[in-house]
Each structure stands twice: as C-alpha cells, then as structure tokens.
C-alpha cells in the first residue's frame, strides 16, 4: 500500500495531525520548526495557516473553538480571533527546571478529556524530558513520569482502558492500564528493530491495532494491539515520517505527516508534505480539548 500527497505545502517538521469538524474533514497539523499551524479540508480543499511566536509541538482543536497549542514554553490557548491565554507550564506542574532547553513534542486528549503532553530537549539529552497531564479545565498540570528522551506517539484503546506510549529512542511501544485519570502497570508491547527506523507518532484504529509512523523508515506500519505482530505497511514518499490520524466521514482515511529537514529534496521531492492513504480499516475520532 502506498500513500499519496494530500497537501503540498512543505513542512520543516510536520507533526501532530488531527481530524475534526463536519465529517471529520478539517485536517490540522503543526510545522514545529516552521512555527506554523496549518489546516486543509478533506472535502473542499480549503486551506489555512497561522504563525506562532515559538516552535510549536502540537495544536489540538477545542470544544469551544480555537486551539490549545504547545508552544515551546506553553501550552497556551489560542482563540478563534487569535488572542492567547496562558496555561500552567512545566514549572508550575512540579517546579522541575533543567539547564537544557526543552520544548513540547507530541500530545493528545484522552477519552477522559485530559491533555497528555510530552517534552524533550532540543539536543536530545537522554532522560531529560517527561510526560505531563493537563486537566480539561486548564487549571491543573501535573508531571506523570520523567526519564523520557523524546516523548512521542500516544493513544488509547477503544474502551479507554489502555494507553499506548512511545519514547522514541527506546524503539518500542509501551502500554499502561488506565484507572480514572491515572496510568499504571507499564510494560512493553512491541520492540522495533534498527532497520525499521525510529517509532514516532501513532494512532489506534477501531480494532485496537496501532498505526505507527517511522522516522527514517519511509512508512507507517500497523501492529496488532494484543500481540505486537506487524500486520500492514503503508509506504510513504519520504524517509522522515512523523505521525498519522484517521479522518473522513467513516474515519477510513489515514492522514500522514512528514519532515523535510536534512532530506535530499532532489531524491525525495515530496518530503515534508502531508500524505493520505486508505488503510482498509476505520479509526477513532480526534478528542477535542475541553476548555
């Protein structure tokens, strides 16, 4: 199976796609180092974008309109008129301070409505990042665990009882049991070989199988959510594949983000663009942030 180009605007580091709105057709993603949040409608082709003042790790639509965005020193609320509202930060959560400069990376809203957001350093310092949880009211941020290097893909099972999580350099997907707003009993579902590339963002489909994007792997691969066995592969037209989300009325189209940084554009002219594929299964809706 092969992916094709959905949006030709090249991203330096495209990440974090979401699919919301009427028929799950409003596709949104970030260009982290391009300091932009971009969107395109799956049905009409209409597109838009806005700039951010800092590198932006994620942008997730809110129930009341606008986005919660992961600016490097945020997160912040951005309303539809462009006004910003400051939210609790990493320092507010636990007083944790590092001599290394951190930024937010991947984030997603849980079935309970809380935002899970992970950090990393710009120089990839080992175990300097962490995973945090911001309550749906936007007033309470807490650090769930540290010793993270590149906090990346995360998602939940259909019934919300299991959370899947990737710390990229570990080259594996870990799973947690969900107990109300806590996650417990961490263990490994699947470990990836070096030749597959590095696991990045991911989405869980309606069968509880995992669709994982692979940085320097040219692909999104699907793994059985119980056994970890690979069951499908989508080949992409560039090496640095970063994340994916299910979209469309039936949630049966997969939107895939990529990066162009450090890529030979003569060899990979579609690098950094956003792709689309039909995986043959349906996925889950993007959860909106409650504030």
Catalytic sites, residue numbers:
200
Q: Which tokens sit at 132?
A: 């945090």
| Cis amide bond preceding 75, omega within 30 | yes
CA quadruple 191, 224, 156, 240: dihedral, nearest 10: 60
Name the residue among 133, 139, 54, 129 with its Cα closest to residue 88. 139
Neighbours of 161 (CB within 10 A): 12
Report H helices in the chain. Answer: 90-94
Cα separation of 150 and 286, whole Å?
22
Q: Characterize the bridge pairing of strands 14-20 and 47-51.
A: unpaired
What one-character-per-residue DSSP string does 112-142 give?
TSPEEEEEEETT--TT-EEEEEE-TTSS-EE
* 127 and 147 Cβ atoms separated by less than 8 Å: yes
What lies within 8 Å, CB to CB, of 76 at 6+ separation is 68, 69, 84, 85, 86, 87
Question: What span, in angstroms and rounded, lies between the C-alpha atoms of 230 and 221?
Answer: 7
């Amino acid at each position: 199976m092969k992916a094709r180009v959905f949006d030709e605007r090249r991203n330096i580091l495209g990440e974090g796609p979401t699919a919301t709105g009427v028929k799950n057709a409003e596709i949104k993603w970030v260009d982290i180092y391009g300091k932009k949040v971009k969107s395109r409608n799956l049905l009409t082709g209409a597109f838009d974008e806005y700039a951010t003042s800092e590198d932006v790790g994620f942008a997730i639509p809110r129930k009341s309109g606008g986005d919660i965005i992961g600016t490097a020193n945020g997160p912040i609320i951005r309303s539809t008129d462009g006004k910003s509202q400051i939210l609790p930060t990493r320092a507010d959560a636990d007083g944790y301070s590092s001599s290394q400069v951190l930024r937010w990376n991947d984030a997603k809203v849980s079935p309970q409505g809380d935002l899970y957001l992970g950090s990393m350093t710009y120089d990839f310092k080992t175990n300097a990042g962490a995973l945090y949880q911001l309550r749906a009211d936007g007033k309470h941020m807490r650090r769930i665990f540290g010793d993270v290097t590149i906090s990346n893909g995360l998602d939940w099972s259909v019934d919300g009882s299991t959370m899947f999580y990737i710390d990229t350099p570990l080259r594996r997907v870990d799973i947690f049991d969900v107990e109300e707003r806590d996650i417990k009993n961490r263990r490994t579902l699947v470990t990836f070989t070096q030749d597959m590339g590095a696991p990045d963002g991911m989405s869980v489909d309606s069968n509880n199988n995992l669709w994982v994007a692979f940085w320097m792997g040219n692909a999104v691969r699907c793994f059985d959510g119980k056994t970890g066995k690979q069951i499908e592969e989508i080949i992409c037209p560039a090496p640095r594949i970063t994340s994916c989300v299910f979209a469309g009325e039936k949630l049966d189209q997969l939107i895939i983000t990529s990066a162009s940084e450090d890529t030979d554009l003569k060899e990979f002219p579609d690098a950094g663009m956003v792709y689309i594929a039909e995986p043959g299964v349906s996925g889950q809706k993007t959860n909106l942030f409650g504030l």
